[in-house]
Amino acid sequence: MTSANVADEPVTPQRALVMGASGFVGCHVTRLLAERGDDVRVLLRQTSSTIGIDDLAVARHYGDIDDVDAVRAAMADRDVVYYCVVDTRAWLRDPAPLFATNVEALRGVLDIACEAGLSKFVFTSTIGTIAVGAGVTEETPFNWAGKGGPYIESRRQAEDLVLRYARERGLPAVAMCVSNTYGPRDWQPTPHGAMVKAAARGKMPGYVRGVAAEVVGIEDAAEALLLAADKGRVGERYIVSEGYLPMRTLFETAADETGVKPPRFGLPVALVYAAGLAGTVVGGVLRRDSPLTLTSARLLHLTSPLDHGKATRELGWQPKPTTDAVRRAARFFTTRSFTTRSFTTKSSPERHQS
């Protein structure tokens, strides 16, 4: 789907590199660039699933993000780099892999980017680096340190690193703080997409009362990154989120689109925290990682409405209602066949959640 804002404005074709093109955001960025007629190159691992971009005529380079030679070759002669790589596993007992991918591997990429003569380095960050509370913008000081666990800390360090390279080494970087993304081609799917998939198939019996989240349609999120490459101010960050939507509304929208029964039971937040505590204890005893922990419960609960006015004013970004994207996601999840053969079985740092 070609975004109206991107398509309606004449833009000089870019020589673009997308890193993390196999992920949800990365695949949609790649698609918009290809549909716009840009010269698109992607950097992938040999094990990465490419189902989201297999129908596109883009140049493929292979290598991991910590492979200096591969990154340098992929970045050679490019105008813009879209960095969409992230390890999103917020439940790891040992957080070392998060920092290895999200911070240290990124540092090596930034070193190469500083030498590449780029016009823009567009970094996919997360709203997890934004403060919580009333009237929050990009300039509001971060105020929930220590509550989001190692994943959020690794993402904060990553964003700080990118902005420091912009200040101190002249890297033309912008940071895009993307919220929970919804829409088609969520093949893996993302954790939040998996819940919409369950609701669209009538397999989501309940929702958490009083819980809402910042959300955005995946095509609109991808469009924001392209707009940032053209108009974003170097060293700035932009909130990429359309609105604040209750969990109940998300699930009911998906169920309505596919004609199944919506979730019936509203669960108290306290029950989620109790389950998270149990998951933390059991995971510790069994020495296993579990996606249900106290940290994941906090990440579900510690949210507040954000203001994306800066992206609208400076980039011309005009996102559409995310409920439309949820409906497209519901149709995608119920009309596509999902098989484990489509994906690598190892956990991939290119899996993207915003």
Across 233-304, the runs of DSSP E, i.e. the strands, are: 237-240, 243-246, 265-267
Q: Which domain holds residue 173?
A: 8-250+305-332
For the chain, the domain total comes to: 1
H helix runs in 232-351, sequence order? 247-258, 269-286, 294-301, 309-315, 322-335
185 occurs within a structural domain: yes
DSSP structure string for 167-223: HHH---EEEEEE-EEESS---S--HHHHHHHHHHTT---EEETT-EEEEEEHHHHHH
What is the reported pLDDT for 90?
A: 86
277 occurs within a structural domain: no
What is the reported pLDDT for 338?
A: 54
Highest mean pLDDT among 9-13, 315-319, 350-354: 315-319
What is the reported pLDDT for 75?
A: 98
Amino acid residing at 307: D
pLDDT at 286 over 90: no
Q: Which helix (H) or strand (E) holds 61?
A: strand 59-62
Whole-number mean pLDDT of the chain?
91
Q: For residue 300, what pLDDT band results from cuts at 50, 70 and 90?
A: confident
3 occurs within a structural domain: no
Q: Please check whether residue 151 is in contact with residue 88, taking contact to mean a CB–CB distance below 8 angstroms.
A: yes
pLDDT at 154 over 70: yes
pLDDT at 344 over 90: no
263 occurs within a structural domain: no
82 occurs within a structural domain: yes
**Could you tell me the CATH number of the domain that includes residue 114?**
3.40.50.720
Rounded-to-integer distance, Cα 306 and Cα 124, Å: 17
279 occurs within a structural domain: no
Q: For residue 76, what pLDDT band results from cuts at 50, 70 and 90?
A: very high
103 occurs within a structural domain: yes
What is the reported pLDDT for 337?
A: 64
294 occurs within a structural domain: no
- Which of 5-14, 113-122, 315-324, 332-341 is least confident? 5-14
